[in-house]
Chain A
Amino acid sequence: MSDVPILLEMRSITKEFPGVKALSDVNLVVRAGEIHAIVGENGAGKSTLMKVLSGVYPYGSYDGDIVYKGEVSRFSDIRASERAGIVIIHQELALIPHMSITENIFLGNEPRKNGAIDWKAANRQALELMARVGLREDPDTLIKDIGVGKQQLVEIAKAFAKNVKLLILDEPTAALNEDDSQHLLDLLRGFRERGITSIIISHKLNEIEAIADRITIIRDGHTIETLDVKGDGVDEDRIVRGMVGRELHSRFPDHTSKIGEVFFEVRDWTVRHPISAERLVAKHSNFVVRRGEIVGFAGLMGAGRTELAMSIFGRSYGVYQAGTIVKDGKEIVLKTVADAIANGLAYVSEDRKAIGLNLLDDIKTSTVAAKLSKITHHGVLDQVEEYQAAEAYRQSLRIKTPTVDEGVSKLSGGNQQKVVLAKWMFTDPDLLILDEPTRGIDVGAKYEIYGIIQRLADQGKGVIVISSELPELIGLCDRIYTVSEGTITGEVARQDADPENLMKLMTSTKKMQTR
């Protein structure tokens, strides 16, 4: 094996962001002609590593060396890496929906004749490239008119148009169905036979196991190990152990839940994608929440956790198809967010800057924004009550700010998250859905937010926590549901939860057997 030439070697790559070491001393060796998988939890550092490789983070902004084809490379931007034949295909496809396949393949790389685009040549070359990736379509078809699987193939054809030597695919099958995924994997095998090297980042461990020659596992910005699939007899369990292998520290406040009876139940919840009518983002999901209980929703990116939560929260995502919500024994219909708030639901979004807060507002305005009626008397906002409410939360949640007149945009992530929590606590909810409540927050603030969540549960409220960090769910939740492809695939009690069994359920596609 070792006589196979090495195409790429990344040597002790270290990349720091202000306050965070995203990559620390990472090593990666990719041999010519192999399929090399990179796996790791969300946030482990895979994407950062690929951004370093492709020049998104230019030479000089990281430490360490990239040795490509035996030379130290100094890519200043993506174009530089593409010129060298390194092409990255992101999970979010970079295609223009209203342009044709040909136009997309040659976007920014158009064949020219006398200064004008030579469409004849372009179409001819496009057909050749499409044949290489097994795409049978009219090259004049618009991208929006072909399925995601074929779009993925167009992206790969586009990479070939750039004369790719090293193809990097980031979660290539995340959005694909079984057939399209299989086709793509076959294609990658075909490339291997023709000597093209690929790096694949994926959460789908069964696919990795099936296709990869070698696997590099990254955790917390460190290289853990590189496994040789055939030589080391690797299976899924082995990979999972490598991915989640860290110990759980006492990162959580001590807490014993006082769990009451079931008060919130979702049955057969089915929702379709807001635009593409045939895609279901939630499929016959069933779950329950008890008073005083913290329930976790585990799932990989794209599993449909956020979509599920938002569709329940006043149908703020997708198109409702079927399903009922029962609260306190009565069926409730929540057609709008206002209905949901009125019925005691609160949803703290995963993206507090984009959809959770109005960054133009100050703290007190944000705090009361979701329930102005509470401080309105005879049609007039009572600004004293507003101030006092905000001030009370500032103290109880320990929001670090001189006054509640401060703009929320000036706060740190952790303090902004506390303001969002305050905003929803102000609505007196019975059920709080917290979507990635600790995303982008430092360890200290996380601990505080865990404490707040536990206090909310102790008040008899139900809390749903959606998180991509398994240790967080295991440490915080009384019960964890796993979600995959819009379906609840499993339910694990706290004492039974460990990363391995969760990861298995999260990567499974079988619907949980309803009790």
Chain B
Amino acid sequence: MSRVKDLQKNLFGGTTSNARQFGMIFTLVAIVVLFQILTDGLTLRSDNLIALFQQNSYILILAIGMLMVIVAGHIDLSVGSIAAFTGILVAKAMAEWNLPWPVGILFGLAIGAVIGAWQGFWVAYIGVPAFIVTLAGMLLFRGGNQFIGNANTIPVPEGFRVIGSGFLPETGPNTGYNNLTLLLGLAGCIAVVWRELQARRTRKEMNAEPIPMWISILRMAVMVGVLIFVTLRFASGRVGTSFPVSGIILVALVLVYSFYTRNTAGGRHIYAVGGNSRAAELSGVKLKRVNFFVMMNMSVLAALAGMIFVARSAASGPQDGNGWELDAIAAVFIGGAAVAGGIGTISGSIVGGLVMAVLNNGLQLMGVGTDRVQIIKGLVLLLAVAIDVYNKSQGRFSIIGSLTRPFRRDTPAAPTPSSGAEREPAKTTVAG
């Protein structure tokens, strides 16, 4: 087998999740490099990277929840309104009841859970389509936001703002970098190497064909290289800044949810329900419970996103959350999820979100107005999905498809030749 084939198989068509993640980072890097050139190096400057994460962490957090909702075959239009509703409640609670801010955060998450239970109830147990339930929720909670806030802007205390605009403290010896960010980066590098070794060991245990050593090394080197680069960038910002706290929350959520969706029965069930709900049901999956969970989980994350935005804006305002659902949904689809459900990954959605974020940021740095930015983003969304769909229909190599393995939907194979090619017209079709 030639090296090129090796590479293609293991980097793009490979079967380990590592290959998938590597391919994703590669795609994103291409876009970053493009803007790095177009903006004369502003894109990758420390302060811009930090701002990029702070500005988009809440959308990316929404994308995590939205991915799970969409994989399960639903949609959630209410996330922006829920974020705004939670934001105003938390801001008011802290201002009027003098709630300490950590309690405020817990309060916000509890609101998200209650709203999620409400929406999950309608979707899972009554069977109202999620589109309708969340369209109603969008109106309900937007109205709730205005009702409670009287469309006022309510400031939040300093401590609370940490989750939106805070940084890691400066501690330890003066290295010329933010030490805690360096430590985080180091932990990341170790994790990457450990995972690669773990993956190799797993394949060995499985007696599967091992990935050539040089590919493992290349993959690790690139990942570690990117991590080091990013770490140094984040660590070398203005004194007092570092990898942002909202970014840390995001990374933690990405890790937890990636693990959940990939390595637990609950995660599998979400894909099973989205892929073929009837088959899932007949395999013992509790449909209602899965649907309830994804809807509820989405609302909790929306509440968190709302609080992070409020913390970053230092106040909860009536415009909060407008249009967020669309950004989150776009991120998920650019990240390779299928409209019909059953396909998609957390990391794909994060990359999708980052592609949009970098695009937005790069265009703003170039001084392009919002009107044109919106046009460009619309076209990118359309093209990204269209190219993927077209390539799949042509049976060609598909970047997004290769990224989302092994959950991709193949073009239906030619009908299996069968002695029963002439069956009676679908018999006793068992309803349901």
Contacts of B257-298 to chain A: CB distance below 8 A: 263-265, 268-269, 271-272, 275-276, 278-286
Question: A45 an interface residue at 8 Å Cβ cutoff?
Answer: yes
Question: B263 touching A358 by the CB < 8 A rule?
Answer: no
A: interface residue count bin: 35 or more
> Is A47 in the interface zone, CB < 8 Å from B?
yes
Inter-subunit contact B279/A20 (CB<8 Å)? no
How many residue pairs link A and B with beta carbons under 8 A? The number is: 182
The stretch of A127-135, A136-144, A239-247, A300-308 that contacts the partner chain: A300-308
CA distance A372 to B278 in the complex (A): 17
When the two chains form their complex, are residues B281 and A365 in contact, meaning their CB atoms are under 8 A apart? no
Contacting residues, chain A, for B342 (C-beta < 8 A): 358, 360
Taking the closest CB of chain A, its distance from the CB of B10, in whole angstroms, is 13
Selected interface stretch from B184-192, B327-335, B392-400, B405-413: B405-413
- Are A381 and B268 neighbours in the complex by a CB distance under 8 Å? yes
Q: Are B283 and A440 in contact (CB under 8 A)?
A: no
* Option from B208, B280, B412, B425 in Cβ contact (under 8 Å) with A92: B425
What are the interface flags for A273-292 relative to B under an 8 Å C-beta threshold, 1 for contact and 0 otherwise?
A: 11100000000000000000
Q: With both chains docked as a complex, state the minimum distance between the C-beta of B71 and any C-beta of chain A, in angstroms.
A: 10
Kindly list chain A residues whose C-beta atoms are within 8 Å of the C-beta of B428.
301-304, 306-307
Is B1 part of the contact surface with A, judged by Cβ < 8 Å?
no
Q: Which listed residue (A90, A274, A306, A362) contacts B406, Cβ 8 A? A: A362
From A17, A383, A409, contact of B413 by CB (8 A): A409
Residues of B near A349 (CB, < 8 A) are: 282
- Complex formed: what's the CA distance from A338 to B280 in Å? 11
Query: Which residues of chain A are near B426, meaning CB under 8 Å?
Result: 92
Q: Which of B28-36, B238-246, B309-317, B414-422 contacts A (4 or more CB under 8 A)?
A: B414-422
Closest chain A residue to B411 by CB distance? A409
By a CB distance below 8 angstroms, the chain B residues around A373 are 265
Distance in angstroms from B19 CB to nearest chain A CB is: 12
B280 touches A347 (CB 8 A): no
Partner of A357, one of B276, B415, B431: B276
Docked complex Cα distance between A413 and B269 (Å): 25
**CB-contact partner of B284 in A18, A307, A370, A380, under 8 A:** A370
B305 to chain A, nearest CB (A): 26
Complex Cα spacing A336 to B424, Å? 31
Query: Provided the pairs A18-B417, A413-B418, A440-B419 are in contact, do residues A338 and B268 lie with their beta carbons within 8 angstroms?
Result: no
Q: Is the CB of B419 within 8 A of A369?
A: no
Evaluate contact between A355 and B431: CB separation under 8 angstroms: no
Asked if B408 and A360 sit within 8 Å, CB to CB, the answer is: yes
Residue A356, interface by CB 8 Å:
yes
Residues 153-180 of A contacting B (Cβ, < 8 Å): 170-171
Q: Are A274 and B422 in contact (CB under 8 A)?
A: no
The answer to whether the Cβ of B343 comes within 8 Å of any Cβ in the partner chain is yes
User: In the complex, what residue of chain B is closest to A354 when comparing beta carbons?
Assistant: B278
Nearest to A370 among chain B residues (CB) is: B283
Could you tell me if A42 and B423 are in contact, using CB atoms closer than 8 angstroms? yes
**B374 on the A face (CB < 8 A):** no
B205 / chain A contacts, CB cutoff of 8 Å: 384
Residue B256 at the chain A interface, CB threshold 8 Å: no
Chain A residues near B263: list those with CB within 8 A: 380-381, 383
B208, B343, B418: the one contacting A360 at CB < 8 Å is B343
Q: Which residues of B contact A42 (CB under 8 A)?
A: 423-424
- Distance (Å) between the CB of A424 and the closest chain B CB? 9
B interface majority secondary structure: loop
Chain B's closest residue to A349 (CB) is: B282
- A475 at the B interface (CB under 8 A): no
Contact B202 A347, beta carbon cutoff 8 Å: no
Q: Which residue of B lies closest to A361 (CB)?
A: B275
Q: Which chain A residue has the least Cβ–Cβ distance from B207? A: A391
Whether, in the assembled complex, A105 has its beta carbon less than 8 Å from a beta carbon of chain B, the answer is no
Complex Cα distance A423/B282, Å? 12
Contact status of A355 and B279, CB under 8 A, knowing A341-B284, A383-B202? yes
Interface residue A480 (Cβ < 8 Å from any Cβ of B): no
- On whether A337 and B284 interact (CB within 8 A), knowing A307-B428, A359-B276, the answer reads yes
> Nearest CB to that of B414 among chain A residues?
A18
B375 at the interface (CB under 8 A from A): no
| Size of B's binding interface in residues, CB under 8 A | 52
State which of A15, A403, A440 has its C-beta within 8 Å of the C-beta of B416.
A440
**Is A48 part of the binding interface, using a Cβ–Cβ cutoff of 8 Å?**
yes
Task: Give complex CA distance A360, B272 in Å.
Answer: 9
Q: B276 contacts A410, CB within 8 Å?
A: no
* B265 x A22 contact (CB < 8 A): no
B427 at the interface (CB under 8 A from A): yes
- Known A358-B276, A388-B206; contact A372-B417, beta-carbon cutoff 8 A: no
Complex CA distance for A387 and B208, rounded to whole angstroms: 9
- Interchain CB contact under 8 A, A365 and B286: no
A157 to B265, CA, bound (A): 54
Q: Is A76 part of the binding interface, using a Cβ–Cβ cutoff of 8 Å?
A: no
Closest Cβ neighbor of A339 among chain B residues: B284
Find chain B residues with CB under 8 A from A275 CB. 431
Residue B430, interface by CB 8 Å: yes
Contact of A407 among B264, B410, B419, B422 (CB under 8 A): B410
Smallest CB–CB gap between B75 and chain A, Å?
Answer: 18
**B425 near A355 (CB under 8 angstroms)?**
no
| A376–B407 CA distance with the chains assembled, in angstroms | 20
Given A356-B279, A372-B268: A384 and B421 within 8 A (CB)?
A: no
Instruction: Give Cα A369 to B281, complex, Å.
Output: 11
CB of A63 to closest CB in B, whole Å: 15
Give the distance to chain B from A388, nearest Cβ to Cβ, in Å.
Answer: 6
B427 contact set on A, CB distance < 8 A: 91, 301-302
Are B276 and A91 in touch, CB under 8 angstroms? Answer: no
Interface residue ranges of A448-507 to B (CB < 8 Å): none
**A residues 3-48 touching B (CB-CB < 8 Å):** 15, 17-20, 22-23, 42-43, 45-48
Is B286 a contact partner of A440 (Cβ separation < 8 A)? no
**Chain B residues, CB < 8 A from A332:** none
Q: Which of A306, A360, A361, A439 has the most CB atoms of chain B within a 10 A radius of its CB?
A: A360
**A439-B265 Cα distance, complex, nearest whole Å:** 31
B419 contacts A443, CB within 8 Å? yes
Q: Nearest chain-A residue to B275 (Cβ)?
A: A358
B15 within 8 Å of A (CB atoms): yes
Assuming the contacts A301-B428, A355-B276, asked whether A369 and B407 have C-beta atoms less than 8 A apart, the reply is: no
Closest chain A residue to B419, Cβ basis: A20
Is there contact, CB below 8 Å, between A359 and B278? no
- Please report B residues at the A interface, Cβ cutoff 8 Å: 15, 202, 205-208, 263-265, 268-269, 271-272, 275-276, 278-286, 342-343, 406-410, 412-432
List, sorted by A's number, 18 A–B pairs whose CB atoms are closer than 8 Å.
A18-B415, A19-B417, A23-B422, A42-B424, A45-B422, A47-B423, A221-B422, A317-B432, A337-B282, A341-B283, A361-B275, A369-B268, A369-B283, A370-B284, A372-B268, A376-B264, A403-B15, A409-B410
Known: A358-B279, A405-B406. 11 other contacts (CB 8 A): A42-B423, A43-B424, A273-B431, A301-B428, A336-B284, A360-B271, A360-B343, A362-B406, A387-B206, A413-B416, A441-B418
Closest 8 CB pairs of A and B: A19-B417, A440-B418, A358-B275, A48-B422, A413-B416, A372-B265, A17-B421, A301-B427
